Amino acid sequence: MTHPIKGIVAVSAAALFLSGCDSWFSSDEGTDTSSSQGTQSTSGGTGASFDDQFLLIDDLNFELSELSNTPSDQMRDSGTATYEGVVGFSNDSPAVSISDYDMMSDLTLQADFGTGAMTGTMDNFNTRGDVDMDGSLTLTEGEIKGTNFTANAIGSFTDGTDAEIWDLEVVADFIGANGSAIEGTAQGTISNGGSVTTEVFGDMMAVEN
């Protein structure tokens, strides 16, 4: 898998959100998109804002672009590891740079290299327009296969009195020495529980805690 934003080239297709979700997104030309390339915390953390998450994915994008996929002979076959990071979602068009992300979430993953299981959550969702979102996604059926893993991320959000159902497929690679980091994509659908369903795409980046 190619680094999601390496070379400022998107690897995901265009994302078109439900019209009922449009209020979650709002353009903010004032967001600082310059890379800090520093030592920001590698976890969004409880209560992290959109700006906090933006700085984190900016740093991770810079740092992980220097890493290659983990060689198969460096993959662990026992023990566990926790990874923390962020997922960036774009609206209307694929993200060609981090400035295109309109929604962010914290990401926590737990890998069990002995059993090959991968679990985790995407939570603390924030939008560029500071729209209140109540909900989270849980990783299910996570399975480590060689130097990558697959999973589903399923959950729901409330938007006023309406429920929006998210159902994403996660595909990600271990990168760096001994699988010290993870990067991948989260692709799937958002449904209002009725006849309207549309695709959503996200880029995920995380490092071992």
CA neighbor of 24 nearest in space, from 205, 162, 188: 162
Q: What's the whole-number mean pLDDT along residues 68-80?
A: 97
**How is the chain split into domains, by residue range?**
6-208
Does the pLDDT of residue 56 top 60, yes or no? yes
Please give the model's pTM, rounded to 2 decimal places.
0.80
Task: Give pLDDT tens digits for 121-162.
Answer: 999 999 888 776 789 999 999 999 999 999 999 999 876 667
Burial class, 133, CB count within 10 angstroms (exposed 0-12 / middle 13-18 / buried 19+): middle
6-208 in CATH: which number?
2.40.160.90
The token duo for 1 is 């898998």
Q: Say if CB 23 and CB 131 are below 8 A apart.
A: yes
Does the pLDDT of residue 67 top 90, yes or no? yes
Task: Give pLDDT tens digits for 13-52.
Answer: 222 234 445 444 444 444 443 433 333 334 444 579 999 9
Beta-carbon contacts of residue 95 (< 8 Å; ≥ 6 apart): 4, 5, 10, 12, 88, 101, 201, 203
In this predicted structure, what is the pLDDT of residue 93?
65
